[in-house]
A = this chain, B = another copy of it.
């Protein structure tokens, strides 16, 4: 079964409130969603997943240091890379417009791409992932659901094409 890991941490609880709606969206497409606090995630959790979504509070122009630590210590021995070909995305809660929320998403995306992962943007909603300004509104929570579903569909499509072609996930 296709499975997406949601690695998150929260500062005042707002990012935490976005986790379950994202998970619901993923499950609505028949894909497994596994939310885990960043301090509990092991390398085995990362490699077992078909996709990894990062939930980080908005922290001084980048992801929370605990998130960065997790991706810094991923072992890179052997080909393909352990995270290569997985889908990846990010969501965040900041304080207000200009608080650096988008930079957190981009910093996360840069890290995920660096590991060889696959990222998709969104032309009409928030382009780089869900953003709450303080307490997530109903609109933001609803977007978290449709965004989660979007990732689940992409992960499913990539898994299907992989089996069809006999291709390894890393290609």
Interfacial residues, chain A to chain B (CB-CB below 8 A): 59-66, 68-69, 71-72, 74, 76, 79-81, 83-85, 94, 96-103, 105-107, 109-133, 140, 150, 153-154, 157-158, 160-162, 164-165, 167, 171
Cβ–Cβ < 8 Å partners of A128 in chain B: 98, 100, 110, 113-114
- A157 CB contact (under 8 Å) in B103, B121, B165: B165
| Minimum distance in angstroms from A167 CB to a CB of chain B | 7
- A129 CB contact (under 8 Å) in B72, B98, B132, B160: B98
Number of chain copies forming the complex: 4
A94 to B60 alpha-carbon distance, docked (Å) = 21
- A165 CB contact (under 8 Å) in B61, B94, B124, B160: B160
A157 to B85 alpha-carbon distance, docked (Å) = 12
| Minimum distance in angstroms from A119 CB to a CB of chain B | 5
A129 to B98 alpha-carbon distance, docked (Å) = 7
- A119 CB contact (under 8 Å) in B60, B105, B118: B118
